[in-house]
């Protein structure tokens, strides 16, 4: 049996294999109210039918100003949670664990979505429906509007909003929560000296820069009981900023102490950088965090071939692989990978059995 198809138990929840669906923003909330739509049901549902063990819904905002664009999903109110419920139920009905990535975009919020906006990009002006963004410091991301520095009350509101969003996620039927601390969004901005210039208890030392994330992890853990909790990190900024894989491993260990179970290891997004892309280019960062901490990790980034995915798990570099674009090209990649690797899986949807390779 190929170990890619071994089940993985996380905090008592069984994942049927080691292929996760990475969170992917769809920018498809055309009503701009954060309420997920039939697009989200079909997109996530077809991937769940394709054999992934864990389907993590896109970066979903914990507050309106935490959206990347005005077409992002949210879970800051009950109407949004109610609309997520049938989506989570459908995913679970396909035998996958429905997960959700809880996010706050920080200084990278209030931007035009990347398609269907007549070529507009960058920050949405305030008089065109944009909003003031929040960040650890009033330091803009390259080319975007300058954010407001969060004050103490603002930080308390963020912690509370993550916990409330997590409670709504559980009520909506999600079986796992991921805290988004990667890609230059709010929690990553706090971690990195490139974006965090604070002089209070939330800036300066690594302990201080990690304080908000650790409070969020602890409050989400309290909100979700014994459900699995992942944290997504950017383990490198591909620049000499003071936030790197070793610092990330230290913070991952602290997050584990605060209640996190698994670390989804990505890179980049907080400072402009040229990233040397190649197949599996981020896998060494996941492997390094696993090596330094002994904690479970998933690897992501240009993992597109069954044999490649299998090798990452077989070699022990990561406990699981997380796929994004390959699952847009082929939502049923896990079923195809099982066939190509000679593994018999028992989760072909009955409706599709007549298409099964023999």
Ligand X SMILES: Cc1cc2nc3c(=O)[nH]c(=O)nc-3n(C[C@H](O)[C@H](O)[C@H](O)COP(=O)(O)O)c2cc1C
Interface region with ligand X, contact rule CB under 6 A, candidates 78-86, 116-124, 240-248, 297-305: 297-305
Whole-angstrom Cα distance, residue 233 to residue 352?
Answer: 36
Interface region with ligand X, contact rule CB under 6 A, candidates 6-14, 157-165, 179-187, 189-197: 179-187
Whole-angstrom Cα distance, residue 242 to residue 263?
Answer: 20
Q: Which of 2, 70, 189, 326 binds ligand X (CB under 6 A)?
A: 326
3-state secondary structure of 66: helix
> So which residues are the catalytic ones?
185
Residue 10 beta carbon to ligand X: minimum distance, rounded to whole angstroms: 18
Closer CB to ligand X, residue 58 or residue 70? Answer: 58
Closer CB to ligand X, residue 147 or residue 301? Answer: 301
**Contact between 113 and ligand X per CB under 6 A:** no
Please enumerate in sequence order all residues whose Cβ is within 8 A of that of 58, keeping only pairs 6 or more positions apart, or say none.
Answer: 23, 24, 25, 26, 40, 72, 73, 101
Interface region with ligand X, contact rule CB under 6 A, candidates 175-183, 196-204, 211-219, 305-313: 175-183
Q: How far is CA 290 from CA 213, 245, 285, 286, 287, in A?
A: 20, 11, 9, 6, 5
Would you call 135 exposed, middle or buried from its count of C-beta atoms within 10 A (0-12, 13-18, 19+)? Answer: buried
Q: Which of 150, 303, 312, 338 binds ligand X (CB under 6 A)?
A: 303
Q: Which of 28, 52, 101, 270 binds ligand X (CB under 6 A)?
A: 101
Binding to ligand X, residues 226-245 (CB under 6 A): 232
Residue 19 beta carbon to ligand X: minimum distance, rounded to whole angstroms: 11
Whole-angstrom Cα distance, residue 250 to residue 120?
Answer: 40
Binding to ligand X, residues 3-22 (CB under 6 A): 22
Token duo for residue 72: 């992002």
**Contact between 188 and ligand X per CB under 6 A:** no
**Contact between 302 and ligand X per CB under 6 A:** yes
Do residues 331 and 50 touch, judged by C-beta distance below 8 A?
Answer: yes
Do residues 308 and 279 touch, judged by C-beta distance below 8 A?
Answer: yes
What are the residues binding ligand X (CB under 6 A)? Answer: 22-25, 58-59, 101, 180, 182-183, 232, 266, 300-303, 323-326
């Amino acid at each position: 049996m190929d170990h890619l198809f071994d089940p993985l138990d996380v905090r008592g929840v069984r994942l049927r294999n080691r292929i996760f669906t990475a969170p992917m923003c769809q920018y498809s909330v055309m009503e701009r109210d954060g309420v997920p739509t039939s697009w989200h049901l079909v997109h996530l549902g077809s991937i769940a039918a394709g054999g992934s063990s864990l389907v993590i819904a896109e970066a979903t905002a914990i507050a309106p100003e935490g959206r990347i664009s005005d077409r992002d999903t949210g879970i800051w109110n009950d109407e949004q949670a109610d609309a997520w419920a049938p989506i989570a139920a459908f995913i679970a009905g396909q035998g996958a664990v429905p997960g959700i990535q809880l996010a706050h975009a920080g200084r990278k919020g209030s931007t035009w979505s990347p398609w269907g906006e007549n070529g507009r990009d960058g920050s949405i002006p305030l008089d065109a429906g944009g909003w003031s963004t929040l960040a650890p410091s009033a330091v803009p991301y390259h080319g975007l509007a300058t954010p407001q520095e969060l004050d103490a009350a603002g930080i308390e509101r963020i912690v509370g909003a993550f916990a409330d969003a997590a409670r709504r996620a559980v009520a909506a039927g999600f079986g796992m929560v991921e805290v988004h601390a990667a890609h230059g969004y709010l929690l990553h901005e706090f971690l990195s000296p490139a974006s965090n210039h604070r002089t209070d208890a939330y800036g300066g030392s690594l302990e201080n820069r990690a304080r908000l994330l650790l409070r969020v992890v602890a409050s989400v853990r309290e909100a979700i009981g014994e459900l699995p909790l992942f944290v997504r990190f950017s383990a490198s900024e591909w620049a000499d900023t003071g936030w790197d894989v070793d610092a990330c491993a230290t913070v991952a260990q602290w997050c584990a102490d605060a209640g996190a179970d698994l670390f989804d290891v990505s890179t980049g997004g907080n400072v402009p950088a040229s990233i040397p892309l190649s197949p599996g280019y981020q896998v060494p960062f996941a492997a390094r965090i696993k090596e330094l901490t002994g904690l479970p990790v998933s690897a992501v980034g240009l993992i597109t071939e069954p044999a490649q995915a299998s090798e990452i798990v077989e070699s022990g570099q990561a406990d699981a692989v997380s796929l994004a674009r390959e699952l847009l090209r082929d939502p049923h990649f896990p079923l195809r990978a099982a066939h190509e690797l000679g593994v018999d899986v028992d989760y072909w949807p009955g409706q599709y059995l007549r298409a099964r390779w023999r």
